[in-house]
Amino acid sequence: MKSYLAAAVQMNSIPDLHKNLAQAEDLIDLAVRRGAELVCLPENFSFLGDEDSKIAQAEAIAQESEKFLKTMAQRHQVTLLGGGFPVPARDGKVHNTALLVGKSGEELARYEKVHLFDVNLPDGNMYRESSSVVAGLQLPPVHPSKELGHLGLSVCYDVRFPELYRHLAQMGAEVLFVPAAFTAYTGKDHWQVLLQARAIENTCYVIAPAQTGRHNSMRQSHGHAVIIDPWGVILADAGEQPGVAIAAIEPGRLEQVRRQMPSLQHRVF
């Protein structure tokens, strides 16, 4: 693992595939011009709208999203994470799929989100991700990269389930991806503290690209795409506007924190 710059992209995706991909392309270009070698897009980067529209267009969204990721990675010679897009599954539903692509355009890892966001929030909004999404059945993978470190995948609501990240840590993860479309209501209280907890307890870097702002009349996201170091320090925060959070991933810092706080070695259960 070498020292390198990573980018957590922040988007305001809408129910328009091609406008979203154009926005993503601009932000990837910005990240690359600032020196990023690992660029991470948020959950729902290619489409964020009502569930019926998503299902109706799922085949096209899946094909265009995957083609886009592979084209962008190869064009810019970067490793690229597509943090979540619908891929047709069974019973007219989709998998919420994160895809990690290498600089030659090759698929490195794929993860189908296992924890689905079915909640009734105190602000009156109800979310039923399971109405259109089939939960994945496999634990998320860790992709071993000699240059970028061991990269562990997850998606959004997963961040509330620490056992998933402990699995990734046991599999050797050094960098954890948490691409998200966190709601504005929950994000103000929970987003940063949950991400910092996952970084601290697993002594890993966390890269959390995010959605921000209003997407339609019903949906608003929290923003604040961040990169966090293994001590829990916020290295970069994109705020509330579309943009990129960029920070250095330093193997020396990872080794220092794990030497000073060897909690992973002290596990009893």
**Which residues are the active-site residues?**
43, 113, 156
Exposure string of 78-111, with b = 16+ CB inside 10 Å and e = fewer, is bbbbbbbbbbebeeebbbbbbbbbbbeeeebbbb
Using CA atoms, how far apart are residues 153 and 145, in angstroms rounded to an integer?
13
Token pair listed for 30: 């910005």
Task: Tell me the C-alpha distance between 39 and 225, whole Å.
Answer: 12
3-state secondary structure 9-77: EEECCCCCHHHHHHHHHHHHHHHHHCCCCEEEECCCCCCCCCHHHHHHCHHHHHHHHHHHHHHHHHHHC
Question: What does the alpha-carbon distance between residue 208 and residue 187 come to, in Å, rounded to a whole number?
Answer: 13
Q: At what angle do helices 58-76 and 17-33 cross, to 10 degrees?
A: 20
CB 60 within 8 A of CB 19: no
Distance in angstroms (rounded) separating the CA atoms of residues 10 and 24: 9
